[in-house]
């Protein structure tokens, strides 16, 4: 049973013209043997991107790539002919499978664009690539299950949208990753206040209540192993 607090100011930073990325795990030139993965999660990036900028066409295979748009809008284009504009409050899941090439850019004129992207190791490799998009009800309160699944048995994502003073119970599971995308959590028995970019990483912990200090949004992953 462990509780780890991963602060946003300890994330690896990548700065390029038009983009700032904060990496939770080792990525590219950033390497830390203590931060390679968390269960099937191998990448958890927070991107802030200027309109018209982003990631040119590149390849992926055998990954479940889950994108949550915090603000602005993201344009996805891939080699299967799909083109999708994904606005804030929307979830996208790219199952890369046997291989896909795609590009992701911030939509010009949509305001500052920020998205959080998680990569998971899938249970099966070489599958048919797919892409799906679904919004999350912006008026829903509490822990709202994501409307799209991923190809990892026992993995699930929920979005928590809280008002200041709301209490949320983070679930019991073999692994839980709870990330603050907006707002802040009050000091608790677990930690000093958590703010944007901070995360709880629980391993074999019971459920834990947290309280929103202000209007707050969390991304909460649970994993069976």
Q: What is the pLDDT of residues 134-149, one digit of tens each?
A: 999 988 888 999 999 9
Total structural domains in the chain?
1
29-44 burial code (b ≥16 CB/10 A, e <16): eeeeeebeebbbbbbb
Residue 138, pLDDT score: 84
199 contact partners, CB below 8 Å, separation of at least 6: 5, 6, 8, 24, 44, 177, 178, 179, 180
Range 88-92 average pLDDT: 97
CB hemisphere CA count around 78 (13 angstroms): 18
What's the confidence (pLDDT) of residue 111? 86
Q: Mean pLDDT over residues 44-68, rounded?
A: 97
pTM: 0.95
pLDDT of residue 27: 85
Give the pLDDT score at 43. 97
Question: Considering the chain, what percentage of its residues have pLDDT values greater than 90?
Answer: 90
Q: How confident is the model at residue 71 (pLDDT cuts 50, 70, 90)?
A: very high
| pLDDT tens figures, 162-207 | 999 999 999 999 999 999 999 999 998 888 999 999 999 999 999 9
Q: Name the nearest CA neighbour of 170 among 225, 224, 222, 117.
A: 222
Check which CATH number belongs to the domain holding 217 and give it.
2.60.120.10
Q: Report the alpha-carbon angle 15-35-154, nearest 5.
A: 110
Give the single-character DSSP code of 38: B
Residue 119 pLDDT level (bands cut at 50, 70, 90):
very high
Residues 177, 123 contacting (CB under 8 angstroms) = no
| Containing structural domain, residue 43 | 2-223
Q: What is the mean pLDDT of the chain?
A: 95
Average pLDDT over residues 104-131: 96
């Amino acid at each position: 049973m462990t509780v780890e607090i991963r602060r946003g100011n300890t994330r690896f930073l990548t700065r390029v013209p038009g983009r700032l990325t904060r990496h939770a795990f080792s990525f590219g030139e950033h390497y830390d043997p203590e931060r390679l993965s968390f269960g099937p999660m191998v990448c958890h990036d927070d991107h802030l991107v200027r309109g018209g900028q982003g990631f040119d066409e590149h390849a992926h295979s055998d990954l479940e790539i889950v994108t949550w748009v915090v603000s602005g809008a993201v344009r996805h284009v891939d080699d299967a002919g799909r083109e999708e504009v994904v606005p804030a409050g929307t979830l996208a899941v790219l199952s890369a499978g046997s291989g896909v090439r795609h590009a992701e850019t911030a939509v010009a004129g949509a305001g500052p664009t920020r998205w959080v992207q998680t990569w998971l190791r899938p249970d099966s490799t070489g599958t048919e690539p797919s892409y799906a998009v679904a919004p999350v009800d912006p008026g829903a309160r509490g822990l709202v299950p994501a409307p799209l699944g991923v190809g990892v048995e026992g993995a699930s994502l929920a979005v928590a949208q809280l008002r200041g003073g709301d209490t949320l119970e983070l679930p019991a599971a073999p692994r839980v990753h709870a990330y603050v995308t907006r707002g802040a959590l009050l000091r608790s028995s677990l930690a000093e206040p958590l703010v944007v970019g901070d995360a709880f990483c629980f391993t074999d912990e019971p459920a834990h209540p947290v309280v929103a200090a202000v209007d707050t949004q969390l991304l909460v992953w649970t994993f069976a192993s």
